[in-house]
Amino acid sequence: MRFRKILPGVAAAAAVALTLTGCGGSSGGGGSSSSGKVTHVAGAPSWCGTKKITFALLDGFGGNSWRLVTTASGKDEAMKCPSVTGFKYADGQGNTQKAISDIKGMVSSGVNAMVVFPDAGQAVLPALTSAYKAGVVTVPYRVFPGGKAGENYDIWIGDNFAHDAVNWANWIKKNVPGGGNILFMGGPAGNSQSTTESNTLMKNLPDSYKLVGQTPFVATDWDPTKTQTLLSAAIAKNPKIDIIVSDFGPTLVSSLHLFPDSGKPIPALATSDGNSLSCYWQQQKQAGHPFKMITVTTGNDNVRLAVDWAVAKATGGQIPKETIFTGPVFEDSVSGKPHPVTCRSDLPGDVYLSAQMPGDQQAKLGK
């Protein structure tokens, strides 16, 4: 198994190389360029209407493998609709001002609809609002940018992080019964995803389960190096850790060896999927050091629902019923349902087998 180094701008380069030429120009007001009458292109999904559009996908930061897969998934979804005759992509590269400029630039270029990953949160809300008021169908997703649908953008398509936490809690009660100490390793301090997950998890567990370490979660920034440092400190401070919860499992791969290195078994793990993690689990099992693990989908396909909404509104297609992405459980090492832990050692570690896009196709991205 190998890992890929994602260079700055690689996602943008890949997307630009696939950009289609087509008509631009925004029409209509109030963030919707559709006439209100539902239309449908025969053979296409129900959300694909007949009006020709140019579509844009924007990242606040696109420089990692998860974003590379998510960007490609978004483009794949948009291309299911023949009415999308032009596709554009922009990567803010972690620079808030560039992300704002990218949104404004897409409006000026004449796109009809855009889906935006607003990494900078409320800092990009004025730009989103301007796009919406200019008549561009505007759909932020995953990170909440503030504001209100119908005033600042058409709709925000979030991820049901609470649903993941409930799935983790149910699994923990069944597979680590009687209570225990939980170490929750989340992302950046204060981020809404980790906060929601931790709070929901504990609300769905009895008092016999206790959080140890920083609460509501240990802030790792989803960075493997920082994760290792913080996990080492947590092991030293807490002699008994029964369960680790993490909302981005692959960051733990380089750190879990700290438990056997300290003469302790690896705790039960409730997290999200990644090929590197599944292969690590398989290696440990083969070495005689198995541990219990559940994964939920990592959420690359959150973008697909956002694309469906944006394209439907802009082309005149059928608006989806769902307004939030809800990912299912992916792997369970105990029950094997809905899938056993699945390692593809022939693929890079940074692919996500829970995504609709096949792992073999993900492995080719960025090359």
pLDDT computed for residue 130 by the predictor:
98
Same domain, residue pair 14 and 149: yes
Mean per-residue pLDDT, 259-265: 93
Same domain, yes or no, for 166 and 154? no
307 domain-assigned: yes
What would the pLDDT profile of 16-51 be if each residue is shown by its tens digit? 434 443 333 333 344 444 456 899 999 999 999 999
Considering the domain architecture, whether residues 197 and 235 belong to the same structural domain is answered as yes
Nearest-CA neighbor of 247 among 339, 118, 159, 115? 159
Is 140 in the same domain as 282?
Answer: no
pTM, entire model: 0.84
CA distances for 358 relative to 11, 112, 134, 294, angstroms: 18, 29, 37, 21
Give 141's strand partners. Answer: 157
Same domain, 70 and 210: no
Cα–Cα distance for residue pair 281/336, rounded to 1 Å: 14
If one compares 215 and 10, the residue with the highest pLDDT of the two is 215
Work out the burial of residue 38: count CB atoms within 10 Å of its CB; fewer than 13 is exposed, 13-18 middle, 19 or more buried.
middle
pLDDT over 80 at 63, yes or no: no
Q: What is the chain's mean pLDDT, rounded?
A: 90
Task: Give pLDDT tens digits for 293-344.
Answer: 999 999 999 999 999 999 999 999 999 999 999 999 999 999 999 999 999 9
Asked, for residue 73, whether it belongs to a domain, the answer is: yes
Query: Which is it for strands 293-296 and 329-332: parallel, antiparallel or unpaired?
Result: antiparallel
Residues 333/292, Cβ–Cβ less than 8 Å: yes
Q: Is residue 94 part of a domain?
A: yes
Phi, psi of 212 (to 5 degrees): -120, 160
pLDDT digits (tens, 9 = 90+) for 185-223: 998 888 888 999 999 999 999 999 999 999 999 999 888
Tokens representing 84 are 């999308």
Domain encompassing residue 275: 161-296
Q: Count structural domains, the chain.
A: 2
CATH code of 36's domain: 3.40.50.2300
Confirm if 350 and 1 have CB atoms less than 8 A apart: no
Residues 256, 184 share a domain? yes
Please give the structure tokens belonging to residue 172: 């923990």
Percent of the chain with pLDDT over 70: 90
Q: How far apart are CA 83 and CA 302, in angstroms?
A: 22
Q: Are 90 and 100 in contact (CB under 8 A)?
A: no
